[in-house]
A = this chain, B = another copy of it.
Amino acid sequence: MSADTDPSLFAAPPMAEQERMVEAMLFASAEPLRVSDLAARMPHGCDPAEALMHLRSRYAGRGVHLVRVGDGWAMRTAPDLGWLLQAERVETRKLSRAAIETLAIIAYHQPVTRAEIEEIRGVAVSRGTIDQLLDMEWIRLGRRRMTPGRPVTFVVTEGFLDHFGLESARDLPGLAELRAAGLLDSRPRPGQVAESDEEDESPRRGQSELFED
């Protein structure tokens, strides 16, 4: 290879370097890459097809393989290790509003009884909500309250603290801090029904128009 003036005639990077490049591209890409895709991104004079062959043998027998997918190349878990990834598939869903509110009340007021949660929320707490939080192991039963009926109380778990990155439930910011951080909305105008406006995503204009003159 001659060190000519035309950049395309510069020596291509050594094959070990080309192999690194191909490895990084295949790793980072969301889609399989064709040899032409690789070549388009690499410096002139590179030979991605050859680099692929080196890479393929380097990964032979490893935990991940270089495989052909259609007319492209991709890295995939070795088929015999698929069982390791079975627990991986988690569907993440946003916690319902009832659940997050119930959870917040338990976190801030623990130990707290179901009646107290309902008192603060202003609506009944469905059994499903409590069950869900118990099931997620974010809350657990606390000591029974020594009041008539000896109701059970709920407290948050270590798992809860871990998920929310808290050292203890006492680290939760207080109301004054929430307000300072702008998390408490300013006072609603008197006469306005507090619940309706912020919470209703669906505009209520349609309905009210019926009644407007």
Q: A residues touching B (Cβ–Cβ < 8 Å)?
A: 19-25, 27-30, 41-42, 61-64, 75, 77-78, 81, 84-85, 87-88, 127-128, 130-131, 140-144, 152, 157, 165-168, 170-173, 177, 180-182
Contact = CB atoms under 8 A, between A and B. Distances in A.
Contact of A27 (B19, B42, B63, B168): B63
Given A20-B62, A63-B19, A152-B173, A28 B143 contact: no
Contacts of A152: 171, 173, 177
Contacts of A64: 23-24, 27
A198 B77 CA distance: 45
Copies of this subunit: 2
Contacts of A30: 88
A62 B88 CA distance: 25
A166 B182 contact: no
A104 to B, nearest CB: 14
Contact of A85 (B28, B63, B127, B141): B28
Which of A27, A127, A141, A152 is most buried by chain B, counting CB atoms within 10 A of its CB? Answer: A27
Given A142-B171, A171-B152, A25 B85 contact: yes
B77 A24 contact: yes
B181 A166 contact: no
A63 B20 contact: yes
B157 A23 contact: no
A172 B22 CA distance: 31
Given A24-B77, A25-B85, A27-B64, A140 B165 contact: yes
